[in-house]
Structure 1
Amino acid sequence: MICCLNPDCPNPLNPDGNNLCQTCSTPLVPLLRNRFRVIRVLSNEGGFGKTYLAEDIDKLDENCVIKQLAPKFQGSWAISKAMELFQKEAQRLKQLGEHSQIPTLLAYFEQDNYMFLVQQFINGHNLLKELQWKVSYSSEDIKDILLSLLPVLKFIHDRGVIHRDIKPQNIIRRESDGRVCLIDFGSSKQLTARVQMKMGTSIGSHGYSPLEQIRDGAAYPASDLFSLGATCFHLLTGTSPFQLWMEHGYSWVKNWRGYLRTTVDKDLAQVLDGLLEKDIKHRYQSADEVIKDLTANLEPLPSFFIEEEIVATPPQPLPTQAPTDPKKYVKIINILTVVVAIALLGSGEFWYRQYRYLESLISSSINQPNHNSVKNPSLFPPKSSISGENFSLGKTLSAESQSITSFAFSPDGSTIATASNKNIKLWNTKTGREISTLNSHSQPITTLAISPDGQTLVSGSDDKTIKLWNLATGQEIRTLGSHSHSINTLAFSVDGHILASSSVDRTIKLWNLLTRQEIITFKGHGKIITSLAIAPNKQVLASGSADSTIKLWHLASGKLIRTLKGHLGTVTSLGITPNGKTIVSASYDNTIKLWHLESGKQITTLKGHLGKINSLVIAPNGKILVSGSDDNTIKLWNLESGKQVTTLRGHEQGIRALTFTEDGKTLISGSENAMKIWQATD
């Protein structure tokens, strides 16, 4: 599609190849400045133009945001002033974009009698959308948001910029690292304030903006702080300040506690009192004052921790091994992107986040399996023509009497990884021969996974570490370590950029595999987490536990969306259909349950296995579910009808792992001593 750049066009999207807009007949521009391909309208700026989503072809079609200036003021002075301020805004945005939580200015130019600003696109979701997902914010969550945004406000205020429109819609939680970013420093607000002031027009958003800004058009650092307080109030209570302003004016700020749904701790309540003062003279005057009050009761960190964080060093190549010094295992990588900013802007967020990190993780004991070594498996022809309605047994790779503790299968089915004790073996499924042996873990390996592109093998171990391996060469790439106990489950996002890991310490951690950094930690299960799955849209993480529950988490924020209850035993395996609408869960209670992902409601229960169900896999077409059980059988189910299609027999022990190849024509299953390859039959 190609987007019309006429700011008055009511239907700007056009099919590729059109020269004129099919709605308004304006000539279409395939590339702005021969570089930016406009995709669609993001927002309408009223009398100033529009904001568009675009692709930067000079950066491999990376998304960006384009703001268009098309003022409709009366008189040449107003238009001239608007253009002057737009240019100054571009200069200001270039300066502000130096901050990692503010979009970077990419370009500023004039074309076809319009002015354009091009900015970095922040991939994520705003806090209003997060609130609409029924996320419940605690006092600690609000402190996190405040201590993340206050240094940003100090940064812009020190440079003479007032945002003027802070609200949940203008705070984006970045998908890559979960950090909140401040957006929309838009020229439209600056222009409205200075060009239209003669007409008595106020700026900002009613309910979020303070009295002096709405009444007089005047804005100060303290004005942004009121807006930040109103934003926190909205997140805590779920009540829109705009609605309260419409009904009660500013009287609601005196009784903001009356709208709370949960208790707020005393320190945060006092800070919100200072932010929500109607009279600017009694309000906080600077971000530093707020940071000081928020961090007043936090204990100082040990000196070694301070030294680790504040000493800046030049970027170094990523190591292939994790550092051996225990002090290096603190979450240094997580905050590298903001260390310099924190050093310059004040230490509030740094102290708070590190204080939170020092809280002890819950740990528990678990009986360890008996890990035995694996002999070279040999390739056996099928003993009989074991077949089902859709699949027949093709090959068996046998480990004879040796114990395999974990499996992973490459997407194309050409390679199988098996773990026994501290060793990983890679096998060629066509020849049945061992390709290589990988051994670097110091304790038995508990879980394996292969990335969707088939390039990276990931292993988790009782030694509390996760290792990344190049599947083609067998070389170790990197070690990730911040769990406090054994790793027991791994799961990739569909694009392979995010890895989720769970541990006996009852936590889930997300890792950005592009940067090799830890993103966020999830806590909430009462017992160990036994299964993980990430939705195709990368917005929801599902976790199953020995506490018999399934929890759904918002992937970027780490917020618990809801808990699904219904199983009577450990939830051993989870799957999410390719369309992202249905969760499938298996349990030691011998049942499979289907759930609506969005509502969390149970759809149906599938029964038929006579033993514990250990593994699930959904066919690439999303129509067939396959389950493996301790009853030594594999069952195929029609997901739409919930009916059992067929049963595959041949394993002599319980099935531990299942996978489909990408084309859906091959099913691979694994038990403690054998792997079987099943081919689709016509």
Structure 2
Amino acid sequence: MANLPGQPLDRTANSEILQYYQSHRLFRDRYRVLKKLGQGGFGVTYLAQNASLPGEPRCVIKQLCPKAGSQLSLERAKVRFRREARALASLGSHSQIPQLLDYFTAGGEFYLVQDYIHGETLAQEVRRNGRLTEAQVKYFLREIIPVVRFVHRNRVVHRDIKPPNIIRSERDRRLVLIDFGAVREFLSDVDDYTSVQAPATQFVGTPGFAPPEQLALRPCYASDIYALGMTCLYLLTARTPIEFDQDPLTGVIRWHHTVTVSPHLTTVLDKMLLPDAQDRYTTIDELERALELEPHLEALAGCMNTRNHPPLDDPGADHSLAADGYLTPIQREAQAIRKWRTKRSFGSQQGRARSVYRP
């Protein structure tokens, strides 16, 4: 992590938070700015200490830079900012998401204050230790699925799941998902609501980790599943998405030659990475069920019918359950239940008829 001096600051060069850093004063009477952690198109992230609390715990201050060209658009941005900050506050109740500590506007800029998670990102781990084994990647999925499920149940698509946005906490080794794009997106285009030239939204994500529908500005829950799949490939191979070839006709990622994993994990990853969102696992629960199936595959193998379809015992039976005329044991049982119910219903109708016409 680099210090503030000497780094390009663009529009933040004259920002209020930088003035407090240079003067060693407390920002908003409580935050002591220590370092600049990073900078992107949406703003700058700083490491700070909360001097108003015992022990002066560390926190992260995210300075967002909306494109507000007028006072009216700035006021609109404030409304959207507060709404999205409240959404982040609800997400922060999960142990694998940094808690939102504060949000405010100052000097025309927007700020979020969140917990500081001390640890390494998965990208840093791979650079230091090398690629992960199949068992480690499966364990990673079991660790990350609960937080992704929580995010989706709160009707949020993260849109930027990737190794640099997943930190392993040094304190308790838990994986923490960071850098939610919701606030950034809603503040990215607030200059003029009435302009027909202004797009409804902007792309949020990282090319390569983002699937086709997200690049087309139509993200869905399956978009995060695709990003998880690309993250798994990175962990298994230490290759970034740009280093994988794609089938020119289907857009499918060609990765099988880069690493050898079990047939089951190969099948799971292939489905996670399908170009069409409708062909992927559509929910994180569906992905979890597919992963949980593997320990039972050997036991289930004896129950799976791999022989040619036998002829039907009853040529006059109802074949509506199977287009090819073959009924599985479950289908045959369902058919027998329907026959029994029909016979019982017919018998009861005959009984009522006899009681009506009995002299």
**TM-score in terms of structure 1 length:** 0.38
User: Are positions 1:228 and 2:222 aligned together?
Assistant: no
Amino acid across the alignment from 1:266: P
Amino acid across the alignment from 2:220: Y
Deviation at 1:117, TM superposition (A): 1.0
| Residue matched to 2:277 | 280
| Residue matched to 2:50 | 56
Counterparts of residues 548-627 of structure 1 (less than 5 Å) = none
Counterparts of residues 159-308 of structure 1 (less than 5 Å) = 159-187=154-182, 189-191=184-186, 195=190, 198=199, 201-215=202-216, 217-244=217-244, 253-260=252-259, 263-298=260-295
Deviation at 1:267, TM superposition (A): 2.0
Task: Check conservation: 1:3, 1:13, Cα contact below 8 A.
Answer: no
Amino acid across the alignment from 1:258: H
**TM-score in terms of structure 2 length:** 0.70
Deviation at 1:265, TM superposition (A): 1.4
Amino acid across the alignment from 1:273: D
After superposing on structure 2, the runs of 4+ consecutive aligned residues of structure 1 that deviate more than 6 Å are: 2-6, 10-14, 247-252
Deviation at 1:99, TM superposition (A): 0.7
Give CA-to-partner distance per residue, 1:298-318, whole Å, 9 cap, x none. 36xxxxxxxxxxxxxxxxxxx
Deviation at 1:163, TM superposition (A): 0.5
Deviation at 1:85, TM superposition (A): 2.6
Deviation at 1:125, TM superposition (A): 0.4
Closer, same or farther: CA 127–114 of 1 in aligned 2, 3 Å: same
| Residue matched to 2:330 | none
Task: Check conservation: 1:192, 1:203, Cα contact below 8 A.
Answer: no
CA distance in structure 1 between the aligned counterparts of 2:244 and 2:71, rounded to whole angstroms:
40
CA distance in structure 2 between the aligned counterparts of 1:285 and 1:37, rounded to whole angstroms:
44
Deviation at 1:234, TM superposition (A): 1.1
Deviation at 1:9, TM superposition (A): 1.6
Deviation at 1:276, TM superposition (A): 0.3
CA distance in structure 1 between the aligned counterparts of 2:45 and 2:172, rounded to whole angstroms:
25
User: Are positions 1:125 and 2:120 aligned together?
Assistant: yes
Unaligned segments of structure 2, at least 5 residues = 192-197, 297-359
Task: Check conservation: 1:109, 1:116, Cα contact below 8 A.
Answer: yes
Task: Check conservation: 1:69, 1:114, Cα contact below 8 A.
Answer: yes
Amino acid across the alignment from 2:204: I
**Cα root mean square deviation, aligned:** 3.2
CA distance in structure 1 between the aligned counterparts of 2:237 and 2:117, rounded to whole angstroms:
27
Deviation at 1:30, TM superposition (A): 1.5
SS at match of 2:167: strand
What is the number of equivalent residue pairs in this alignment?
285
CA distance in structure 2 between the aligned counterparts of 1:254 and 1:141, rounded to whole angstroms:
22
| Residue matched to 1:9 | 13
CA distance in structure 2 between the aligned counterparts of 1:223 and 1:84, rounded to whole angstroms:
28
Give CA-to-partner distance per residue, 1:59-88, whole Å, 9 cap, x none. 412111011133234455654443333212
CA distance in structure 1 between the aligned counterparts of 2:165 and 2:174, rounded to whole angstroms:
14
Task: Check conservation: 2:81, 2:187, Cα contact below 8 A.
Answer: no
Counterparts of residues 500-515 of structure 1 (less than 5 Å) = none
| Residue matched to 2:87 | 92
Closer, same or farther: CA 77–67 of 1 in aligned 2, 3 Å: same
CA distance in structure 1 between the aligned counterparts of 2:282 and 2:61, rounded to whole angstroms:
33
Task: Check conservation: 1:99, 1:152, Cα contact below 8 A.
Answer: yes
Closer, same or farther: CA 200–194 of 1 in aligned 2, 3 Å: closer
SS at match of 2:63: strand
Deviation at 1:176, TM superposition (A): 1.4
CA distance in structure 2 between the aligned counterparts of 1:275 and 1:37, rounded to whole angstroms:
43
Task: Check conservation: 2:50, 2:56, Cα contact below 8 A.
Answer: yes
Which is worse superposed, 222-231 or 198-207?
A: 198-207
Give CA-to-partner distance per residue, 1:38-64, whole Å, 9 cap, x none. 111112132x43111101121412111
Higher relative contact order structure (alpha carbons within 8 Å, sequence separation ≥ 6): 2
Amino acid across the alignment from 1:257: H
Amino acid across the alignment from 1:230: M
CA distance in structure 2 between the aligned counterparts of 1:195 and 1:267, rounded to whole angstroms:
46
User: Are positions 1:110 and 2:109 aligned together?
Assistant: no
CA distance in structure 2 between the aligned counterparts of 1:269 and 1:164, rounded to whole angstroms:
24
Task: Check conservation: 1:40, 1:53, Cα contact below 8 A.
Answer: yes
Give CA-to-partner distance per residue, 1:259-278, whole Å, 9 cap, x none. 22xx2112211111111010
Task: Check conservation: 2:4, 2:35, Cα contact below 8 A.
Answer: yes
Deviation at 1:187, TM superposition (A): 4.7
Out of 143, 149, 174, the position equivalent to 1:154 is 149
CA distance in structure 1 between the aligned counterparts of 2:180 and 2:270, rounded to whole angstroms:
26
- Bigger share in strand: 1
Amino acid across the alignment from 2:213: E
CA distance in structure 1 between the aligned counterparts of 2:291 and 2:74, rounded to whole angstroms:
44
CA distance in structure 2 between the aligned counterparts of 1:121 and 1:86, rounded to whole angstroms:
21
Give CA-to-partner distance per residue, 1:446-473, whole Å, 9 cap, x none. xxxxxxxxxxxxxxxxxxxxxxxxxxxx
Counterparts of residues 631-642 of structure 1 (less than 5 Å) = none
Give CA-to-partner distance per residue, 1:557-582, whole Å, 9 cap, x none. xxxxxxxxxxxxxxxxxxxxxxxxxx
Task: Check conservation: 2:66, 2:190, Cα contact below 8 A.
Answer: no
SS at match of 2:252: helix
SS at match of 1:164: coil
SS at match of 2:254: helix
How many percent identity over aligned positions? 36
Deviation at 1:108, TM superposition (A): 1.5
CA distance in structure 1 between the aligned counterparts of 2:72 and 2:228, rounded to whole angstroms:
34
Give CA-to-partner distance per residue, 1:585-615, whole Å, 9 cap, x none. xxxxxxxxxxxxxxxxxxxxxxxxxxxxxxx
Deviation at 1:6, TM superposition (A): 8.8
Closer, same or farther: CA 45–250 of 1 in aligned 2, 3 Å: farther
SS at match of 1:172: strand
Task: Check conservation: 1:207, 1:243, Cα contact below 8 A.
Answer: no
Deviation at 1:253, TM superposition (A): 3.4
User: Are positions 1:42 and 2:43 aligned together?
Assistant: no
CA distance in structure 1 between the aligned counterparts of 2:252 and 2:20, rounded to whole angstroms:
54
Amino acid across the alignment from 2:44: K
Task: Check conservation: 1:192, 1:201, Cα contact below 8 A.
Answer: no
Closer, same or farther: CA 83–13 of 1 in aligned 2, 3 Å: closer
Amino acid across the alignment from 1:209: A
Amino acid across the alignment from 2:287: V
